[in-house]
């Protein structure tokens, strides 16, 4: 008798650093309960759009946050890995462990690539058009090879022959790529032509996960068995942030990590004990769910949605209503400092959100400058009461490039960079 499948919708409401959980169990008949979930892909800038890859049921697609699903005909029942171009989500790839397929219309139709085979994993660099990596495994030798394409899979070239479990890309520099396996993290500064080891695992502890803060891409967090390490300089140096795991039982296995736009606030998924949140760089932790977590994906919606695959082969959605980007125009009595937050998403095209806070009433001026310091626009120029504010900036009329936005509120001034990529 097959066990029933349940889909959990978990609403997580945050007030300051105290939160409460409300669980609503939703039975969704459109999810195939007879198949295992191998992978999940979330289209970050298209809230509600996501894909599930199955080991017997092929590919499913949802456009309403996972409430309903559509089975997509691909010609394959077993799909191991799936990845989309986040800047151009009409382009995507999936692998079966043997064959590799691509789509150019958002997953409705798929074509088998005949110029590559034995592919287990695929990674699309959303910040460099056409750049795709495929990890081939020959089970009979065995041998491993990383291949690279600069034209969305039309042709391929050798990149490396080391084992790869995951890969992440720098949002502001298409040359910088990080890849990891159980023993080490490697970094390339030339789009995968050469690689250098920047971190090695602790003895008797495998590397299980790696994440980057998109707003501050020099911030990396590495999850291991019983350890958590962080770098703030692109992997040149690392320090431990695992000393505060007092409410997490040993041994623990950090299966995945999701970093908020504030790099001090991030989630870790643990493969037996659930998902935990820190808002102070690991000094304190709160349990968000006690379901074992194997994979975490997030979107850029407001509020942010966090999607997880659990160790029980369930799919859960968590709504975080107080991530750092989820700040509404409001007066907040406990605000005591001026602050200008990093815009999100970043890079962006053409819209992005800017958040700031002021501890007292006064005039706020926010202006936009180009990289040479020339004033481009005045974004805010008005009296504001104490509070935290958010507005959307539209860069349609600007050219691609780096810009600086500057806040002036009384004697307080601060600058942040934003990257417009068209």
31 confidence band (pLDDT: 50, 70, 90): low
Mean pLDDT across the chain:
84
337 confidence band (pLDDT: 50, 70, 90): confident
pLDDT computed for residue 140 by the predictor: 63
C-beta of residue 237 within 8 angstroms of C-beta of residue 224: no
347 confidence band (pLDDT: 50, 70, 90): confident
Pairing state of beta strands 315-320 and 7-15?
Answer: parallel
Is the pLDDT score of 328 beyond 50? Answer: no
84 confidence band (pLDDT: 50, 70, 90): very high
pLDDT computed for residue 38 by the predictor: 92
Q: How many helices (H) and strands (E) does the chain have?
A: 0, 36
Q: What backbone torsions phi and psi does residue 56 show, to the nearest 5 degrees?
A: -135, -10
Sorted by where each starts, the structural domains of the chain and their CATH numbers stand as 7-320 (2.130.10.10), 339-420 (2.60.40.1930)
Burial class, 307, CB count within 10 angstroms (exposed 0-12 / middle 13-18 / buried 19+): buried
Question: What is the pLDDT averaged over residues 134-139?
Answer: 83
pLDDT computed for residue 7 by the predictor: 36
Is the pLDDT score of 327 beyond 70? Answer: no
pLDDT computed for residue 187 by the predictor: 97
pTM for the predicted model, two decimal places: 0.70
386 confidence band (pLDDT: 50, 70, 90): confident
Is the pLDDT score of 20 beyond 70? Answer: no
Is the pLDDT score of 161 beyond 80? Answer: yes
341 confidence band (pLDDT: 50, 70, 90): confident
């Amino acid at each position: 008798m097959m066990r029933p499948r349940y889909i959990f919708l978990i609403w997580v409401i945050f007030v300051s650093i105290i939160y409460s959980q409300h669980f609503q169990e939703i039975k969704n008949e459109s999810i195939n309960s007879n198949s295992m979930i191998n992978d999940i892909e979330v289209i970050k800038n298209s809230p509600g759009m996501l894909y599930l890859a199955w080991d017997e049921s092929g590919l499913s697609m949802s456009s309403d946050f996972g409430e309903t699903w559509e089975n997509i005909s691909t010609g394959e029942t077993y799909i191991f890995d799936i990845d989309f171009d986040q800047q151009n989500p009409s382009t995507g790839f999936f692998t079966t462990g043997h064959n590799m397929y691509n789509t150019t219309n958002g997953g409705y139709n798929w074509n088998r690539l005949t110029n590559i085979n034995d592919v287990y994993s695929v990674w699309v660099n959303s910040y460099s058009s056409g750049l795709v990596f495929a990890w081939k495994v020959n089970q009979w030798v065995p041998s491993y090879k990383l291949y690279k394409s600069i034209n969305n899979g039309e042709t391929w070239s050798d990149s490396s022959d080391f084992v790869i479990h995951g890969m992440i890309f720098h949002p502001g520099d298409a040359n910088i790529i990080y890849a990891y396996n159980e023993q080490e993290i490697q970094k390339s500064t030339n789009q995968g032509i050469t690689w250098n080891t920047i971190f090695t695992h602790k003895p008797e502890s495998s590397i299980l996960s790696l994440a980057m803060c998109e707003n501050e891409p020099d911030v990396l967090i590495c999850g291991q068995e019983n350890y958590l390490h962080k770098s703030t300089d692109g992997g040149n140096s690392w320090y431990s942030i695992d000393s505060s795991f007092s409410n997490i039982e040993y041994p623990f296995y950090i299966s995945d990590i999701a970093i908020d736009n504030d790099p001090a606030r991030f989630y870790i998924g643990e493969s037996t004990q659930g998902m935990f949140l820190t808002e102070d760089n690991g000094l304190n932790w709160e349990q968000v769910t006690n379901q074992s977590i194997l994979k975490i994906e997030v979107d850029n919606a407001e509020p942010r949605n966090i999607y997880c695959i659990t160790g029980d082969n369930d799919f859960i959605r968590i709504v975080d209503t107080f991530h750092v980007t989820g700040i509404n125009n409001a007066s907040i009595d406990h605000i005591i400092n001026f602050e200008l937050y990093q815009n999100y998403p970043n890079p962006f095209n053409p819209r992005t959100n800017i958040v700031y806070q002021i501890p007292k009433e006064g005039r706020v001026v926010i202006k936009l400058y180009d990289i040479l310091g020339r004033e481009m626009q005045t974004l805010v120029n008005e009296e504001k009461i104490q509070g935290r504010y958010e507005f959307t900036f539209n860069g349609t009329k600007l050219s691609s490039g780096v810009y600086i936005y500057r806040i002036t509120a009384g004697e307080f001034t601060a600058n942040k960079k934003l990257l417009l990529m068209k």
